[in-house]
Every structure is written in structure tokens, then in C-alpha cells.
Amino acid sequence: MDWEFRHASELARASRLFQLAADAADTGARAWDRSQAVRSARAAVRELSLLAIVDRLRLIGLLVLCATITHAVLLWFVPRSLAPAAPLVVQLLALAAALALIAGPRAIVAAWSVRRRH
């Protein structure tokens, strides 16, 4: 039975359709690697990796805070019957987490370090 799968695989790879799909995938992968968006994202990751952990935590808190506020504002434009069913407590927890990350990243890093030692 194994030889049948190998034979079918060889036939598929030899087909024109398979070659076209493989060429399209290769072209897409090369275009992805060369795209400005990917280069910008990689540069941003390099820049963010240079930040201290405290600054990264503060940035994460700021991003979560912005997302939470944006979500709350956008919900004003959605009828209640179509709004997501997530309870208000989820938004409040996200808000609290964001504020904790912004206000106390040093305490979080210290607590994490102590926890990892035990």
C-alpha cells in the first residue's frame, strides 16, 4: 500500500497543476519576504527587543488600554442585540490589567523574578 501512495505522490508532483501551485507559492513567499510591511514589522520587532522589560510591559499595558477603550467606544455604535455577549467584567479586567502594567511594571518584574527562583 505504501508504494501506491508514493506512486500517487510522484504523479501529483509531476502534474502541471502541482507545478503551477508550487510556483505560485514560491512567488508568494518571495513577495512576502520582500514586502515593505514585513520589513517594517521586522524592524519594529528589533527595536522593541532593545527595550528594557519594564518599558515593554508599560507598552503592552498602553496597547491593551487603547484596545479596551476603542472596544468600549465602538460598542456604542452597535445595537445591544448585535453586541458581543462578553460581560462588562471582561472589559473591567482588561482595563485593570492595562493600568497595572502601566503603573507598576517594576513590581511585576520583581514579583516574576522571585516566583521564577522558587
* Same domain membership, residue 69 and residue 84: yes
Distance of alpha carbon 57 from alpha carbon 38, whole angstroms:
24
Residue 14: give the domain boundaries: 1-50
* 51 alpha carbon, distance to own chain's centre: 19
Distance of alpha carbon 31 from alpha carbon 46, whole angstroms:
21
Number of domains in the chain: 2
- Residue 101 — very low, low, confident or very high, per pLDDT cuts 50/70/90? very high
* Same domain membership, residue 87 and residue 39: no
pLDDT at 28: 87
Other beta carbons within 10 angstroms of residue 62's beta carbon come to 13
pLDDT tens digit sequence for 29-52: 888 888 898 889 889 889 988 989
pLDDT tens digit sequence for 81-97: 888 877 788 889 999 99
* Same domain membership, residue 86 and residue 38: no
Of 109, 8, 113, 3, the residue nearest 55 (C-alpha): 109
